[in-house]
Chains A and B, each alone.
Chain A
């Protein structure tokens, strides 16, 4: 048992706790927001403002009977919810929550990294794990031994593969600008303000932070649309379209196994928004108010900034859900393959050319 192992264990436990508590908050946030947009009250019985409603629902689901369908493929049916949940926890491990912190404890100086693991292949890790998540939907749909879940599973595999391509391609210009695959370096590369070689322009843009969203606004749009499709949220929720497929891939699941799918969906949604904030909105960067606040408060300001950015994006997720109707299946495929992927390819080439000109100058000069 080395110290590193113990630190990793503590971090894993913190991630588990944060994500579970956060999901409770997030489901309440969504239900209240959608209720407000549809002129309803929403949950208001359990706890103040109904904030404990999700806890009550979770307890209810845990106590319910877990049904195993007669025609189900037993091993795969039991495996699918686990495959859904594990990648969603693993993705959160690479999101940097703040700068390194020096802590003096017992006369010794410790450096605490506010990130689960700083991988030099962080972006690939994120894409790899989100592609593993496809299996849960496909397996759940297939193993239930029923036709509605199977249709949901087939739709899901096609949808998630298509939008993963667009998502990956939209990230490449960001990697080009940051020059690294590590999420910590990508956040670091966004610190400071924009600058321009033209003096008049420089005086205007020097107030804007150097977040990737400003030079890479097209990539941001493509990534965000693909992210909504990747976590199967409305208007891309064909996987679980109630009017056509009952409950989609998790029709046959009940009790705690259903809760696991539900939990995975919300954790994935939160992860996607936190990743988007990290790639495009500067992650934890923001004013820490060191002069006004006590040192403890100013040291947790980065986490608060990341939370504010993430929840603003989550607000947009919920807003989209409450506003837009669901796409038809062929429209979904057309948007993915004929609009998003060509657009991201063109944008990738444009950014590469601009970056090349800035680095090396004109090829004939």
Chain B
């Protein structure tokens, strides 16, 4: 009973947040809806014993990325309403078509795999601890090469962004 409550409360907040992201007209409300989704997702991670992933989710996505989003939204046109008309012809029709196809695909798979309600909360006999030590152990031994490649990629992206934004010619003219 208690587990059910702990699952359904964040799960419903998550879905409400996702709906706010899609339907709210004000960009700041959209951003806050996304924050709501990310934080409730972190709570669900905690219930699955993945505490490290939950905290990184809060720290990186809810903490850093979304604050920067909000910063940009506030700097660029706070009072502008979002454009509501279709920018591509038949946009709404296309999106709802794709949505229906995805939902029916999901339903088909669910029915075919003999989906039953009591499978939702199977009794867990083992406990997987998402401890930092465990994750670090795997990340820095098995996956060390992709990890380092990603860090180089990030540095390249940052350097490229600075090079694009920091126009040397204009800079020299001012000086």
Binds A, one of B64-72, B149-157, B159-167: B64-72
Interface string of B27-39 (1 = CB under 8 A from A): 0110010010001
Number of contacts between A and B (CB, 8 Å)? 79
Cross-chain contact B74 with A153 (CB below 8 angstroms): yes
A124 touches B55 (CB 8 A): yes
Do A120 and B51 touch across chains, with their CB atoms under 8 A apart?
Answer: yes
B107 at the interface (CB under 8 A from A): no
Asked if A142 CB lies within 8 Å of chain B CBs, one says yes
B-contact 0/1 string along A161-191, CB 8 Å cutoff: 1001000000000000000010000000000
Is B146 located at the chain interface by the 8 A CB criterion? no
Task: Assess whether A124 is in contact with B56, with CB atoms less than 8 Å apart.
Answer: yes
Instruction: Tell me whether B63 and A134 are in contact (CB under 8 A).
Output: yes
Is B14 among interface residues, defined by CB-CB distance under 8 A? no
Q: Which residue of A lies closest to B53 (CB)?
A: A121
Q: Mark contacts of A314-345 with chain B using CB atoms, 8 A cut-off: 1 yes-contact digit, 0 otherwise.
A: 00000000000000000000000000000000
Alpha-carbon gap, A94 to B132, bound state (A): 17
| 22 A/B residue pairs, CB under 8 Å, sorted by A | A2-B2, A5-B2, A76-B28, A76-B32, A119-B51, A121-B52, A121-B54, A124-B55, A124-B132, A128-B55, A128-B63, A131-B63, A132-B62, A134-B63, A134-B67, A135-B32, A138-B67, A138-B70, A150-B78, A157-B70, A160-B67, A161-B68
B44 CB–A CB distance under 8 Å: no
Interface residues of B in 60-90 (CB under 8 A from A): 62-64, 67-68, 70-71, 74-75, 78
Contacts of B158 in A (CB 8 A): none
A157 and B71 contacting across the interface, CB-CB below 8 Å: yes
Report the bound CA distance from A157 to B75 in whole Å.
11
State how many angstroms separate the Cβ of B155 from the closest Cβ of chain A. 14
Residues in B whose Cβ lies below 8 Å from that of A150: 74, 78
User: Which interface class (under 10, 10 to 19, 20 to 34, 35 or more) fits A?
Assistant: 20 to 34
CA distance A2 to B1 in the complex (A): 12
Indicate whether A154 reaches chain B with its CB closer than 8 angstroms: yes
B interface: dominant SS:
helix
Q: How far is the CA of A143 from the CA of B51 in the complex (A)?
A: 33
| Residue in A closest to B28 when the chains form the complex, CB atoms | A142
- Whether, in the assembled complex, A125 has its beta carbon less than 8 Å from a beta carbon of chain B, the answer is yes
Nearest residue (CB) in B for A130 is: B63
Provide the residues of chain B in CB contact with A125, threshold 8 Å. Answer: 55
Kindly state the separation between the CA atoms of A318 and B46 in the bound complex, as whole angstroms.
38
CB within 8 Å for A135 and B35 given contacts A124-B56, A161-B67, A161-B68:
yes
Taking the complex as formed, is A158 at the interface, i.e. its CB lies under 8 A from any CB of chain B? yes
Closest B residue to A142 by beta carbon equals B74
Interface: B26 (CB within 8 A): yes
B26 neighbours in A (Cβ, 8 Å): 73
In the complex, are the beta carbons of B74 and A161 less than 8 A apart?
no
Interface mask (A114-131 → B, CB under 8 Å = 1, otherwise 0): 000001110011011101
The 3 A-B pairs at the shortest CB distance, nearest first, are namely A131-B63, A128-B58, A124-B55
Asked whether A139 lies within 8 Å of B32 as measured between CB atoms, the reply is yes
Chain A residue with the shortest CB-CB distance to B131: A120
